[in-house]
Amino acid sequence: MISAFRKIWDFAGSEQKNIKTSIVLALLHSVFYALQFAAVFVILKALTGEDRSKINALYAFGIMAVSVIGRIVLNTYSQLQRVHAGYFMVANKRISIGNKLRTVPMGYFSKNNPGQMTAITTTTLTDVENTAPVVLVTILGGFINSVVFALSVLLFDRRIGIIVFIGMAAFIWTTSLQEKHSRKGAPERQRAQETVVEKVLEAVQGISVIKSFHLGETSDSAVKSAIEKSCDKNLAIEKQMTPYQIFQQIVLNLFAVIIMIVSAVLYKNGSMELADAVMMFVASFMVFEQMKSAGISIATLRIAESSIDKANETDNVPVMDEGGKSISLTSHDIAFENVDFSYGERKILDNISFDIKEKTTTAIVGPSGSGKTTMCSLIAHFWDVNSGRVTIGGNDVREFTLDSLMKNISMVFQNVYLFSDTVENNIKFGFPNATHEQVVEAAKKACCHDFIMQLPNGYDTVLEEGGTSLSGGERQRLSIARAILKDSPIIILDEATANVDPENEDRLQAAIEALMEDKTIIMIAHRLKTVRKADQILVLDSGHIVQHGTHAELEKQEGIYSRFIRQREQAESWHIAGQNA
């Protein structure tokens, strides 16, 4: 439990002072809450003393009014501090995650789905916002309140005060007992829940397979049994926990009864005054209230803790040293010098060296998994090399700031991302100062103009997030228009990803050719036409450059390249025969 408090406390960061203030105010709040005892005591004193003067009514009302007004004021400020802490500590975490993403290696995002991080930043952090500060203030405040109550009882009557303290200790003990047991069941419950998620996702995403292969029943039963199992787990835990919950509830109440018994005995043997004894009877109902609500909140503490743990996972994202300089280049020659690169344990590139002259086209060919994509992404410094270096215009890519490096490079991405902004703003994303005419010109070159004009508001049409209202090819061409407008001297592209919309292949090809005009091109090539025209071809196999030259040179050698050419010829001339053929 202490570790959970610690986590929330650390998480709060600069909002710690607000939480502190909130707890102090909550403490004062409890003093005003306790004033109710004083009001009751005034009346009891008068009743037992047969004092019928009406002024007592005024006293009682006065004290109660002070108690209520004090509680309103202190609760307002205590809550506001707490709410401030909740919203702003989460806002700060969100901002720090956003800030961190600026220094994460670009390659991280091609390997990891950003969806996970988005989910943490939105949903998980909202959970933290709603639970962490409430729980901290309720539990800590509740415990402190109880101690204040107990202390005031102690001052009132030492013997009863001691009973109150013992009662609180017993409650804490049963609570931690319950806590321990509920923790035991939690992982199993979690696993059952995860299975439900998995099976439901499978049933949804695989619905066409399930239906077409008659899997309705078997797959249904998999989901159903996952749901049944998760339900059974919950029921089992509930059953197991019920006695503890009952025990926890009863403990405090039994101590309330002990207070009654002791007060009665003390009154009977004359060592406690009548009014005091009556007061203690009344107090037995109220003295443990705060403790109880603090105890109930412990379940929420667990939720807060696990949400914070999840949010803190974002701390494990790798960062790259961002200490580069802003370099402007005069030449755009690219060179790999003895580059080694491993992803985790796996060696991807092994001692790679080659040169690319500026304004030439280099085609990279090789089987899947040979390291083509990795090689391209090292040029853009998506990752740090393990040894050797990658240079552009003679400068190591590690010496650049990301911004000054990326100014020189356009990449045609596998996943085109469009913002929920107008078409125009999407195109000029990399060049915010572009005029409308420049945007249109780029769109025309990328063969986007026609379909843009058919959108409801032309260039001012606001796209859905991710651009889902457009076809794959249209999105791809918009991203090419964006790259054309950016006009970087180096273009990196994978021909396969440029073929997402086979129906408009011709227009995509035209767009790509417009982009490539007069540039330094590195492309993962699949089309025969492309490799034939390339100035140089690099043939990669298992992280090594095994062949290197022009089409004319390599065609004659027996090797991967000639095999590649034969396969491509076969693939490109393939057709489905008619059944009568």
Partner 1 sequence: MEKKSSPFSLIMQYAGSHNNKYVCSVILAIISVVCGMVPYFAVAKMVTAMTGHEDKDLSFFAGWCTAAAVGYIAKGIFNGISTGVSHTATYLTMKEIRLKLISKLTRMPMGTILGSPSGYYKDVIVDRVEGIEVPLAHLLPEMTANVLAPVLMLIYLFTLDWRLALISLITIPVGMAVMSTTMKSYGENYGKSVEIGGRMTNAIVEYMGGIEVIKAFSQSKSSYEKYETAVNDNAAFFYGWMKSAQWAMSAYNAITPSVLLTVLPFGFLFYSSGSLSAESFITMIIISLGLLEPLIAAMNYTDNIARVGTVMGQINDVLASPEISRTDKDRDISGNTIEFRNVTFSYDDEKEALKNVSLLIPEGKVTALVGASGSGKSTVAKLIAGFWDVNDGELLIGGRNVRDIPLEVQAGRIAYVEQNNFLFDETVMENIRKGRASATDEEVIAAAKAAGCDEFIRGLDKSYHTVVGSAGGHLSGGERQRIAIARAMLKDAPIVILDEATAYIDPENEAVIQNAIAKLVQGKTVIVIAHRLSTITDADNIIVMNDGAVAAHGKHKELLENSELYRSMWQAHTGTKGGAAE
Report the candidate in 394, 385, 399 with the shortest Cα–Cα distance to residue 350: 385
CB of 432 to partner 1, least distance (A): 8
Q: Which is nearer to partner 1, 261 or 387 (CB)?
A: 261
Q: In what order do the strands lie in the sheet with 361-365?
A: 409-412, 490-494, 520-524, 361-365, 536-541, 544-549
* DSSP state letter for 124: I
Q: Which is nearer to partner 1, 162 or 264 (CB)?
A: 264
Q: Which is nearer to partner 1, 267 or 354 (CB)?
A: 267
CB of 354 to partner 1, least distance (A): 21
Q: In sequence order, which residues have a C-beta less than 8 Å from that of residue 175 and are 6 or more positions away?
A: 248, 295, 298
Q: In sequence order, which residues have a C-beta less than 8 Å from that of residue 286 and are 6 or more positions away?
A: 36, 37, 149
Q: How far is CA 577 from CA 503, 566, 574, 581, in A?
A: 21, 20, 9, 6
CB of 392 to partner 1, least distance (A): 15
- 182-209 burial, b if ≥16 CB within 10 A, otherwise e? beebeeeeeebeebbeebeebbeeeeee
Strands 544-549 and 536-541: antiparallel
Structure tokens at 412: 């045609």
Cβ contact 35:17 at 8 Å? no
Q: Which is nearer to partner 1, 305 or 495 (CB)?
A: 495
CB of 124 to partner 1, least distance (A): 12
Q: How far apart are CA 285 and CA 180, in angstroms?
A: 28
Q: What are phi and psi of 518, to 5 degrees?
A: 60, 30
Cβ contact 196:226 at 8 Å? yes
Q: Which is nearer to partner 1, 147 or 256 (CB)?
A: 256
- 85-112 burial, b if ≥16 CB within 10 A, otherwise e? bbebbbeebbeebeeebeeebebbeeee
CB of 407 to partner 1, least distance (A): 6
Q: Which is nearer to partner 1, 172 or 264 (CB)?
A: 264
CB of 423 to partner 1, least distance (A): 15
Structure tokens at 392: 């552009």
Q: Which is nearer to partner 1, 122 or 338 (CB)?
A: 122
CB of 338 to partner 1, least distance (A): 27
Report the candidate in 168, 99, 93, 80 with the shortest Cα–Cα distance to residue 129: 93
Q: Which is nearer to partner 1, 223 or 397 (CB)?
A: 223
Q: Which is nearer to partner 1, 151 or 235 (CB)?
A: 235
Q: How many helices (H) and strands (E) does the chain have?
A: 22, 10
CB of 131 to partner 1, least distance (A): 12
CB of 505 to partner 1, least distance (A): 5
Q: Residue 242 is which amino acid?
A: T
